[in-house]
Amino acid sequence: MGFLKIFSAGLGGLAMCAGFFGLAISSAFKGTFISPFARIAFYGNIKIGKNCRISSGCVFRVPKTALLVIGDGCDFREYSQVICREGKTTEFGNNCLVQPFAFVSDQVKIGEKSILAPHSVVVAARHNFGSISLPVLEQGSKTLPIEIGSNVWIGTHAIILGPSKIGSDSIIGAGAFVKGNIPEKSVVRGERKITIEKRR
């Protein structure tokens, strides 16, 4: 798999709209396109495969020593976000679909042909909260890795927290909450019982 490699190259980091990348990638890397209205803020490294699309309003944040890997044919729809973490790798396999307002944070690995539906959340980090004398915001956070297999569909408003491992060919239903291991070829339902009564 050939990747476009974007390096900070000692520039002290960049934070820019992706107009330049939209031109450079689409011409040099067989159709990969980043909208000029996407925002890529990076100090670390990004590898982007062929035939990818990063739509308007997308946000990618890649701090120093972090790595973001995007396989061939990935499609990031409007306003999806990927937030990487220092010293960690966030990875999307080939032909992933990340739909509008989906959110991915920290050390997450997603297999090929997986789908993140609108407003789904995949967060591999947790704030520390052991001290009652310090605000949670001042206690830092830790990484709890998440691995999602191939051909997994994460439904709308589903929440995946680390540490978790979701087996390939699984479906995580709309509104489901997952933390832990899900075997391959599983269906996790987030449905809640609805009671319907007649008005009097």
Asked if 120 and 105 count as a contact pair (C-beta separation under 8 A), the reply is no
* Longest distance between any two alpha carbons in the chain, whole Å: 71
Give this prediction's pTM.
0.84
Asked if residue 97 lies in contact with residue 104, where contact means CB atoms within 8 angstroms, the answer is no
Q: Hey, where are the domains in the chain?
A: 4-188
Q: Which residues pair with 33 in a beta bridge?
A: 53
Q: Does domain 4-188 have CATH number 2.160.10.10?
A: yes
Pairing of strands 4-6, 45-48: antiparallel
Q: Per-10-residue mean pLDDT for the chain, 200 residues long?
A: 43 39 48 88 87 94 93 97 96 98 97 98 92 89 94 97 97 95 95 77
- 123 vs 162: CA distance, rounded Å: 7
Q: How high is the pLDDT of residue 197?
A: 83
pLDDT attached to residue 6? 52
What strand order describes the sheet that includes 81-83? 14-17, 39-42, 59-62, 81-83, 103-105, 121-123, 159-161, 177-178
% the chain with pLDDT above 70: 85
- Quote the pLDDT of residue 30: 72
How far apart (Å, rounded) are the C-alpha atoms in residues 128 and 155? 28
